[in-house]
Amino acid sequence: MSAYSNKLLELLSIERKWNQNYLRIKISLNDSIELLWEIDEETASHLENAISFEKNYQYSLSFNSTWDVIKKQHMSFFIKTHEGKNKNCYFICSEQYAEQLKMMKNSKVITQLQNLSFLHADHLDRETAVTVTPKRSFRKPIFVSAAAFFILLMIVLAYSSFSFSKNKSIAQETYVTAQSAKTERKPNVQVKSNIGDAPAFKLADPITYHIQEDSVALTFDDGPSKYSTEIIDILKKYKVGGTFFLIGQNVEKYPDHVQYIYSHGFSIGNHSMHHANFQKLSYEKQKNEIFEANKLIEDITGEPVSLFRPPYGEKNDATLQLLDENNQQIVMWNKDTEDWKTHSPEKIIYYIQHSNISGSIILLHESKAVVDALPTIIEELQKQNLRIVNLK
């Protein structure tokens, strides 16, 4: 789980009993408890294809899910941990699974979890419950006849051959479709798509105000908002890059728009939790502003946030220390369209047309004026043969 969460939802196994699917989980809250989570066939199928219980690995389920507005399906992820290294793995889930996650997330104490109808005490017999993950194991009784043991061995060998063949075909696949039949199980979905020819510019300095000549970066602050998808669609149409600096409280309002930005390959940075002036905040309050927003974004994208833009461009030594300790870089700007002041597409365009724009990081905000001005801005930059890049 994320380092920012005080809950842990550990996945121990996937099991089937009486034609019903269960996740054997260990939940750590104010205490720890092992339970069986009764889940639907669809989610069990996608989890089975996405996970293989390897020795010395820990698997933790995220308490969050998102709605992929492009593929029209719910998504969640688990974290695979080995020797201190984490890897986020995504899978398609059902609406029922997403609702159950939400109920567990909102539970404050163990007793609340035990009252949820889909969670059960460990009533399954571990000696007979079938584990349905790719790597399967069956325990034999201490006292069995030689004939019974031989028959069981033949069954296991035949099943293992089938399982190996299935795993081989899974490894050759890349995508999972939302409409995959329950009997045809495919691997984990790829949630991030390519945006065509848009190049990326890798930042190297702790603080960046501009980039190399012949390139330009369009950056959008204060989202996500009701304008996010329109901005993304325009950038996609022109096959150019864009970088979005998101405010945590807006992420809570528009989580689907965060997923929309991310799934189309655009860069996402942190713009604090509440858009506070960092010059006026203590070290601890700055830390909370940064980490709370990071967590919200990371729970949706499954990737660490590496870019930060301080609200109003205000920062101090505490800001620099916090970001250095957490391997994040500050992204400033050297061209301010002042779109927030004029609210005029014409004035925004005029500013771009009459500026020495090569090598610039351009400050824009998610607004109707920017949506209206953006196609002309892009066309003007392309006339100057400038690469419009994602910041990384």
* Best CA proximity match to 12, nearest among 40, 45, 37, 46: 37
With a cut of 90, say whether residue 328 has pLDDT above it. yes
Distance from C-alpha of 222 to C-alpha of 275, rounded to nearest angstrom: 8
Query: Which residues carry out catalysis?
Result: 221, 365
More confident residue, 72 or 194: 72
Query: Which amino acid type is present at position 289?
Result: E
Q: Six-digit token pair at 10? A: 């550990």
Rg (CA), the chain: 25
- What are the residue ranges spanned by the domains of the chain? 8-171, 200-391
pLDDT in tens, 288-320: 999 999 999 999 999 999 999 999 999 999 999
pLDDT at 192 (0 to 100): 44
Distance from C-alpha of 281 to C-alpha of 204, rounded to nearest angstrom: 27
Q: Which long-range contacts (CB under 8 A, 24 or more apart) does 115-123 make?
A: 118/37, 118/38, 118/39, 119/35, 119/36, 119/37, 119/38, 120/22, 120/35, 120/36, 120/37, 120/38, 121/35, 121/36, 122/24, 122/34, 122/35, 122/36, 123/36
pLDDT in tens, 118-132: 898 865 444 444 454
Q: What does the mean pLDDT of the chain come to?
A: 82
Name beta bridge partners: 20: 17
Question: Which CATH code is given to the segment(s) 200-391?
Answer: 3.20.20.370
pLDDT category, 72, cuts 50, 70, 90?
Answer: confident
Q: Which long-range contacts (CB under 8 A, 24 or more apart) does 21-28 make?
A: 21/132, 22/120, 22/124, 22/129, 23/47, 23/61, 24/122, 24/124, 25/61, 27/104, 27/110, 27/113
Distance from C-alpha of 392 to C-alpha of 316, rounded to nearest angstrom: 23
Q: Model pTM? A: 0.54
CB 50 within 8 A of CB 187: yes
pLDDT in tens, 150-183: 555 565 555 544 444 444 443 344 333 333 333 3
